[in-house]
Amino acid sequence: MSRLITVAAAQLGPIEREEGRASVVGRMTDMMRQAHARGARLVVFPEMALTTFFPRWYIEDEAELDSFYETEMPSAQTQPLFDLAKELGVGFYLGYSEMFFDETGKKRRFNTAILVNQQAEIVGKYRKVHLPGHATHEPEREWQHLEKGYFEVGDLGFPVFRTMGGVMGMCLCNDRRWPETWRVMGMQDVDIVMLGYNTPVYNSIAAESPHLRMFHNHISMQAGAYQNGTWAVGTAKAGIEGGVDMMAGSCIIAPTGEIVALATTAEDEVIVAECDLDRGRYIRDTVFNFAQHRRIETYGLITERTEAISPPE
């Protein structure tokens, strides 16, 4: 029996600092309706989809910083997304900033994504592992990237979830650049890896052309998809946001590594593809048949060492 699911990436154009959750959720529900009208049963929204990408600013005021995080999910403001998902029978991936107080009373903050099924139930949660940028204010930068200051490293690993007819995995933005992210989910026979991203078009600390930045965006996801025989859906927050040009290029990638749908704007835009979850089976059974070909006795350094160490001269 074929395992087909039509999937959408719902790219968001810029969200300015003053734009409220109600307005953003309205944009997202509009796109969910568009995606559904084009046959989608699963919609992937960006990283930090409910707010502007606030780590670009050094925010000293704790209350102001807290205002960018969600303390409950769903909340009154995000409930319309869940209501519409249930009405339409559409699942979704949502990236947002999560804050809560743990049992010791400590404030915890994570860069989080959830997976919601077609009955509007939260069936999966992921907290970003690879936090890029820096932890403290670096005034010499044209803009900040304070993810290391504003979030803890995710504590849930890279779990996958059997739902909506397949094995679903999640990661967030910078995670896509790390082969380990993909392999850990590949080791769990993942069928679709969903991810949202917020990536500046320009590198604030090194010379890199926009073309090269987009190349790295796509090659990371295409390689991850192919090497694990999985679909990948990458959804951007795009356009000029908070004065910073954010990369578009949202895409749906087949297990062959081919981009089968690609956004053409840097605005709110829905792209759709029908995904045969068995498309990657031949890859997982042949060139990347892990059981036959992986040589784990030679991979120890990957988990024993963090940094690269040159051999002695």
Task: Using the rule CB under 6 A, give the single segment among 3-11, 169-177, 262-270, 283-291 that binds ligand CDT.
Answer: 169-177
Query: Which residues face 197 on adjacent strands?
Result: 236
What's the closest the beta carbon of residue 177 comes to ligand CDT, in angstroms? 6
Is residue 177 near ligand CDT by the rule CB under 6 A? yes
What's the closest the beta carbon of residue 152 comes to ligand CDT, in angstroms? 15
Is residue 237 near ligand CDT by the rule CB under 6 A? no
What's the closest the beta carbon of residue 200 comes to ligand CDT, in angstroms? 6
Is residue 181 near ligand CDT by the rule CB under 6 A? no
Is residue 11 near ligand CDT by the rule CB under 6 A? no
Is 237 in the active site?
no
DSSP annotation of 52? -
Query: How deeply is 307 buried, as exposed, middle or buried, from its count of CB atoms within 10 A (0-12, 13-18, 19+)?
Result: exposed
Is 125 in the active site?
no
What's the closest the beta carbon of residue 204 comes to ligand CDT, in angstroms? 7
Is residue 199 near ligand CDT by the rule CB under 6 A? yes
Task: Using the rule CB under 6 A, give the single segment among 3-11, 33-41, 69-77, 193-201 that binds ligand CDT.
Answer: 193-201
Among 197, 226, 231, 288, binds ligand CDT (CB under 6 A): 197
Question: Which among 90, 112, 70, 67 is positioned nearest to 6, based on CA atoms?
Answer: 90
What's the closest the beta carbon of residue 9 comes to ligand CDT, in angstroms? 16
Is residue 154 near ligand CDT by the rule CB under 6 A? no
In terms of phi and psi (left: phi > 0; alpha: psi -120 to 50; beta: otherwise), the region of 120 is: left
Residue 24: φ, ψ to 5°: -65, -45
Task: Using the rule CB under 6 A, give the single segment among 11-19, 92-100, 191-199, 257-265 that binds ligand CDT.
Answer: 191-199
Catalytic residue chosen out of the listed positions 70, 98, 171, 173: 173
What's the closest the beta carbon of residue 37 comes to ligand CDT, in angstroms? 30
Distance CA 85, CA 78 (A): 11
Residues 66-125 binding ligand CDT (CB under 6 A) are none
> In the numeric block, which tokens belong to residue 89?
């029978």
Among 41, 56, 145, 279, binds ligand CDT (CB under 6 A): 145
DSSP readout, 191-260?
SEEEEEE--BSS-SSS---HHHHHHHHHHHHHHHHHHHT-EEEEEEB-EEETTEEE----EEE-TTS-EE
Give the containing element (helix H, strand E) for 30: helix 21-37
Q: How far is CA 243 from CA 56, 96, 212, 239, in A?
A: 10, 21, 21, 9
Is residue 56 near ligand CDT by the rule CB under 6 A? no
Cis peptide before 55 (omega within 30 of 0): no
Is 251 in the active site?
no
Among 31, 81, 164, 173, binds ligand CDT (CB under 6 A): 173
Among 27, 29, 66, 132, binds ligand CDT (CB under 6 A): 132
Question: Which among 151, 160, 161, 94 is positioned nearest to 128, based on CA atoms?
Answer: 151
Per CB under 6 A, residues contacting ligand CDT are 47, 132-133, 145, 173-174, 177, 197-199
Active-site amino acid positions = 47, 128, 173
